[in-house]
Amino acid sequence: MYSPQVLKSAIFRILLTSFSTLLFSSVTLAKEPISAMDVFKIAYASNPVISSDGKNIAFHRYAMDVMTDQRRNELWVIDSEGKNMRQVSKGFDAVGAATFTQSGEAIAFVAFKGDAAHIYLQQLDSTTSMELGEGLSDPANLAFSPDGKWLAFTMSVSYEAETMGKLPSPPEGAEWAEPIVVETRSQFRVDGAGYLPFSRHQVFLIPTQGGKAQQLTQGQQDHNSPLEWLPDSSGLLLSINFKNNVNKPWDTDVVKLDLKTRQLSAVTTQSGPDGAPKVSPDGKRLAWIAHQDRPSIYHEYQLYTAKLDGSDIRELTTDNDLSVIDFAWHPDNERHYIQYEDRGQAVLALLSKDGSVSVLTDKLAGWELDQPYVMGQFSASAGVAAVTLGDTTNPTELGVVDRHGRTRTITDLNRALHDTVRLATVEEHTVESSFDQRQIQYWVMRPPNFDSTKTYPMMLQIHGGPWAAYGPQFAANNQLYAAAGYVVVYGNPRGSTGYGAEFAHTIDFNFPSQDYDDLMDIVDATVAMGFVDKEQLYVFGGSGGGTLTAWIVGKTDRFRAAVAVNPVINWSSLALTSDLDKLMASYWFTNLPWEKPSDYWSYSPLSLVGNVTTPTMLMTGEADWRTPIWEAEQYFNALQIEGVDTALIRVPGASHHIEYRPSQLIAKVNAILAWFDRHSNPTNAVLEQ
């Protein structure tokens, strides 16, 4: 027999368990497919920085502010065991670069308030902080000296622009127009920034105990580069366009800046970009990523090492068919952490001295919310790596790869999203190219309420670049499209990265081309699965994907409607007006536009506009300087002349990253859905509103 107290306890546990089960079931049932306002629940981790002892990790926590319609970030610190997470920056409009002191006891970070920029030094074991410097202008690339005496950073410094003629002085109180601007610079406009100020980034030093910042570099050379100290604190290593070749702006070299003489001397000299210099933990060797110049926009970056003076150069990844995105020294001074792409995944691995590669994790994820681009970040020290992790249903969180190679997530920034939203999952597939039998990887996302007895409209999404890649990463737009009742399909046609050098270079001087065939093979394979309404096919893409979208509707009428987002329509106009103009003119084609205009025309979607019957909408940011809006305008006007149903969406204030603000992401998605809905026919598809 049980005592009344035991029976009472048992009944209480049963009731508590039943209540918990009911509560859990209610929460589960309450989940709904993602909606537009759920975008504001998304948070993500970015820019991890680990202390030299591997014990603490700083990172930026981004959140969507519904009132200001901005991605707001703050600096947080957490220990590598996933405990003691606390906010470091408070009350600022934004935070920038951060770095730990050599001891790991304090962190310096850049903070912005209005038009003012500040550098703060914050002690981790207290609320004590101190401001370093005064009157700073967008400082970046912070780096503490090994002896702990100095903080180095880069900062823009204005200079007098050239004038042409002289105006008389206006009468007192008169309101004359802004003065004319004379341009002689090789680059005067950049996407996301617009017309550049007349300034150059210079290198500065400031004492860690406080004091005035000292400018170390001068002149018209731009020194905007990560900074790496020499082991004896006598100088800095950085990467700049030391040769000053206007037509090869990416031809950078690793240079040494001597603190005493303030002179720069080249450590590397090969033709091509040499960057991200890092000194080994024992201070004996230097490593950096680079590639030798050749006629192509895309190159595979290799990892090199040398003595500190640039002698005894060794190429470490020459036997591996991969491109190094980022790296860090292992504490054993022989191995290296390397990040690269592999078949739709962002990978962190250890590169051994013999060239062998051991994967630590293939779940790196990045900050791009709108599209499933393969991205990721890491920071490593003392055998511990801080990483950004995510997948198709998880926006980027902070994770750790410990000294034993074990990976785990240590933040939970998206609990509010996961508690209320049911997200669509993604399936991986491959198809054999009808052109040359290559294996083409792609992914299929079904609506959250998928019913195998019904058929659904299908969207083909095409990535930009074109040297880039999609993968199983979180993408808010795809989730919204799936929630609206579409099967969303995306893949990596030839030219995509992460499939080896030969695969990527098949589109050198040949874009668009057989990537079109690869995309049509993806469509055919998905339709053959049996749950897609073949009369309800739609296509869209951005940047290089926008170009391919315009190319596709010039080649086939199988799609009911299309949307080309910030596309290239005319290669001749783009090559001379994009913020990448010198690179485009020098590397994209074998000849300049005026030397062989037929090459530029034959790959321009505008050349096929007479074939187009598919209703096609264009969308570009008004402040896009990568693929300026007049590219879309040319196609819009041509389609109108041809009598094709079309529309032009201008996004005020938006750069090439058209959906940076949350409402812009929502507006883009809703406009695409509305355009496709306008041109759909009633079927048995389930379209959830």
Instruction: Return the percent helix, strand and coil in the chain, to nearest 5.
Output: 20, 35, 45
Q: Please, are residues 408 and 400 in contact by the beta-carbon 8 Å criterion?
A: yes
Mean pLDDT across the chain, nearest whole number?
A: 92
pLDDT-derived band at 330, boundaries 50, 70, 90? very high
Q: For residue 68, what pLDDT is reported?
A: 95
DSSP state of 448: T
Asked if pLDDT for residue 43 goes beyond 50, the answer is yes
Q: Please, are residues 402 and 80 in contact by the beta-carbon 8 Å criterion?
A: yes
- What would the pLDDT profile of 307-323 be if each residue is shown by its tens digit? 999 999 999 998 999 99
d(CA 423, CA 320): 37
H or E element at residue 335: none
Q: Please, are residues 482 and 446 in contact by the beta-carbon 8 Å criterion?
A: yes
Q: Phi and psi (nearest 5°) for 593? A: -55, -35
Q: Please, are residues 506 and 500 in contact by the beta-carbon 8 Å criterion?
A: no
d(CA 494, CA 518): 7
Q: Please, are residues 633 and 648 in contact by the beta-carbon 8 Å criterion?
A: yes
d(CA 614, CA 639): 10
d(CA 30, CA 13): 25
Residues 6+ apart with CB under 8 A from 133: 118, 119, 139, 206, 212, 213
Q: Please, are residues 339 and 376 in contact by the beta-carbon 8 Å criterion?
A: yes
Predicted TM-score of the model (pTM): 0.92
d(CA 186, CA 625): 15
To 10 degrees, the CA torsion angle through 389, 390, 396, 402?
A: -20
Asked if pLDDT for residue 674 goes beyond 90, the answer is yes
* Other Cβ atoms within 10 Å of 483 Cβ, number: 24
pLDDT-derived band at 135, boundaries 50, 70, 90? confident
At 485, list the tokens: 């009742």
- The domain spans of the chain are 422-569+604-678
Q: How large is the C-alpha radius of gyration of the chain?
A: 27
d(CA 651, CA 653): 6
Q: For residue 11, what pLDDT is reported?
A: 35
- What would the pLDDT profile of 10-39 be if each residue is shown by its tens digit? 433 433 333 333 333 444 447 899 999 999
Stretch among 163-167, 603-607, 684-688 having the lowest mean pLDDT: 684-688
Q: For residue 220, what pLDDT is reported?
A: 85
The residue-averaged pLDDT of 213-238 equals 95
- What would the pLDDT profile of 358-407 be if each residue is shown by its tens digit? 999 999 999 877 899 999 999 999 999 999 999 999 999 999 999 999 99
Q: For residue 233, what pLDDT is reported?
A: 97
The residue-averaged pLDDT of 221-248 equals 92
- What would the pLDDT profile of 87-114 be if each residue is shown by its tens digit? 999 989 999 999 999 999 999 999 999 9
DSSP result, 4-45 = HHHHHHHHHHHHHHHHHHHHHHHHHHH-EE--GGGGGG-EEE
CATH architecture classification, 422-569+604-678 = 3-Layer(aba) Sandwich (3.40)
**Burial group, residue 375, by CB count within 10 angstroms (0-12, 13-18, 19+):** buried
Percent of the chain scoring above 90 in pLDDT: 85
pLDDT-derived band at 640, boundaries 50, 70, 90? very high
Alpha helices in 413-514 (DSSP H): 415-420, 476-483, 501-504
